[in-house]
Amino acid sequence: MAGKIEVAAAQVASNVRVAEGIFLLKLRGDYSAAPGQFYMLRAWDRNPLLSRPLSVFNLDGDGISFLYAVRGRGTGLLSRLSPGNEIGITGPLGNGWPRRDGRIALVGGGLGIAPLFYAAGVFSGSDAYLGYPDEPYLVDEFARVAARVMVSSDTGAGGTKGFITDIFDPDGYDACYACSPRPMLAALDRICSRAGVPLFVSLEERMACGVGACLGCAVRTVHGYARVCRDGPIFPSSEVMWNG
């Protein structure tokens, strides 16, 4: 895990719409995070009550960025931020992707591409498989950091028409890191276990405290319940109970 957890006021450098309902928020300053970690963000006073978790999309000399979809009130308020606005952030949180030698495949579905971009930059030589519901976005940016980029879209608006799991072949990879809605992760679990390739998945659960205190984000694993915020969000796929 990178860095000690800090609660800070952060200044918005930019907040750009990259696709319909999808924004890239950049905060100025000096932050730390390992690929796969997340921060809790808060751009409001009391409503909503809780801060919202977002994966680190990228970290560079100028600041930290987050890629997010507008879903409800919290992300709706984030989407209205302008350069110079201040927000509260807490992090870095969670465990991050494991460090593995060899060829890594990064597989993301929808907003699941968010925790993979920074990983592609840090784990050099890895390939990115990006599955979009419709028009792809940020593909050129991924192409600058990943060894190869493969794209699919459900509608055929870009890349191969269909799911990214239709074109992902785990053969030849030493590990696969994935983030997406749960049904796609369960499909990847079957694909990777058949091929004998270790799969690590980033799980998303609704979060309250974000630091392991409330058990609100518990998921079932072969070792019993685990907290996504503290024990994850990244888990070996072989430890996740995919049926419950």
Ligand X SMILES: Cc1cc2nc3c(=O)[nH]c(=O)nc-3n(C[C@H](O)[C@H](O)[C@H](O)COP(=O)(O)OP(=O)(O)OC[C@H]3O[C@@H](n4cnc5c(N)ncnc54)[C@H](O)[C@@H]3O)c2cc1C
Judged by beta carbon distances under 5 to 8 A according to partner kind, the member of ligand FES, ligand X, none in contact with residue 54 is: ligand X
Q: Count the Cβ atoms, other than its own, within 10 Å of residue 3.
A: 12
Q: Could you give phi then psi for residue 154, rounded to 5 degrees?
A: -60, -35
Q: How far is the CB of 211 from ligand FES (least distance, A)?
A: 7
Q: Do 212 and 193 contact (CB within 8 A), yes or no?
A: no
Nearer to ligand X, 113 or 149 (CB): 113
Q: Count the Cβ atoms, other than its own, within 10 Å of residue 76.
A: 12
Q: Which of 33, 38, 71 is nearest to 233 (CA)?
A: 38
50 binds ligand FES (CB under 6 A): no
Residue type, 203: L
Q: How far is the CB of 99 from ligand FES (least distance, A)?
A: 24
Residue list 99-128, contact with ligand FES (CB under 6 A): none
Name the percent of the chain in helix, strand, coil, to the closest 5.
Answer: 20, 35, 45
b/e 146-159 (16+ beta carbons within 10 angstroms → b) = beebbbbbeeeebb
40 binds ligand FES (CB under 6 A): no
Q: How far is the CB of 204 from ligand FES (least distance, A)?
A: 12
5 binds ligand FES (CB under 6 A): no
229 binds ligand FES (CB under 6 A): yes
Q: Do 209 and 230 contact (CB within 8 A), yes or no?
A: no
Widest pairwise Cα distance in the chain: 50
Q: How far is the CB of 77 from ligand X (least distance, A)?
A: 8
Binding mask 174-213 for ligand FES (x = CB under 6 A): ---------------------------------xxxx-xx
- The 8-class DSSP code of residue 81 comes to -
**Residues of the shown chain interacting with ligand X in the complex, contacts defined by CB under 6 A:** 38, 48, 52-55, 66-69, 71-76, 111, 114, 204-207, 228, 233
Q: Do 109 and 131 contact (CB within 8 A), yes or no?
A: yes
Judged by beta carbon distances under 5 to 8 A according to partner kind, the member of ligand FES, ligand X, none in contact with residue 189 is: none
Binding mask 62-81 for ligand FES (x = CB under 6 A): --------------------
Judged by beta carbon distances under 5 to 8 A according to partner kind, the member of ligand X, ligand FES, none in contact with residue 173 is: none
Q: Which of 47, 45, 44, 42 is nearest to 27 (CA)?
A: 42
Q: How far is the CB of 40 from ligand FES (least distance, A)?
A: 9
Binding residues for ligand FES, rule: CB under 6 A, are 207-210, 212-217, 227, 229
